[in-house]
Amino acid sequence: MSIDLSSTNKELKGVDITNPDSCQKYIDEVLARNEALVAYGGYLEKRNLYDAADRFSKGSTRNIHLGIDFWCEAGTQVITPITGTVHSFSNNDDIGNYGPTIILEHKFENILFYSLYGHLSIESLYELFIGKKFRKGETLATLGTPDINVNYAPHLHFQIINDLGSYQGDYPGVCSESDLDFYKTNCPDPNLLLQLY
């Protein structure tokens, strides 16, 4: 089911969405109310979720989400939606970042693009190597707990990136209003691939 974690959601008034326990409680309530196991959403959503991390307030405030999040239990398997090879991976463990992250590279005829998977378990990085192939439908990783995914309620951040530039194992997942035009083009809606809505 879809979930709204935007700053305009009136249900979030009085909820400290930056606290993983409070955030998880709200997500659990929404899931229970809708008899669902996974909540998803967030592409280009303006959020208060990042208010507690200094990395998002330096310079222009970054609070617009560039991927789709899938909120579900830690340990949930992450399945590759399309075949790809490991471009890079890293444990981005500074506050507000992704924690363990994997980036896959995809080539279709003359088209090259990337998919990023963030907030994974640390075990997801074991036995990985650049160039390792994952076929569509294979288990890529599992979701991490808040202590591993840098203080977020368990979820997958999934993002499509056209031009990765020089990034290795990391790429901005949140942007400012002033940079939105660039990122909206470079990071198209992942639903173009997933077809959820």
- pLDDT recorded at residue 60: 78
Distance CA 28, CA 71 (A): 9
Distance CA 34, CA 27 (A): 11
% the chain with pLDDT above 70: 97
Domains of the chain with bracketed CATH: 10-194 (2.70.70.10)
Tally Cβ neighbours within 10 Å of residue 114: 20
H helices within 36-194, ranges in order?
180-186, 191-194
- pLDDT recorded at residue 51: 78
What are the tokens at 154? 């368990």
Helix H or strand E encompassing 25? helix 20-33
Helix H or strand E encompassing 135? none
Render pLDDT for 95-143 as a digit per residue (tens, 0 to 9). Answer: 889 999 999 999 988 999 999 999 999 999 999 999 999 999 999 999 9
What are the tokens at 2? 């879809």
Smallest CA-to-CA distance from 62 within 156, 175, 160, 159 is with 175
Tally Cβ neighbours within 10 Å of residue 151: 17
Q: Which residue has the tokens 């997500």?
A: 27
pLDDT at 57 over 80: no
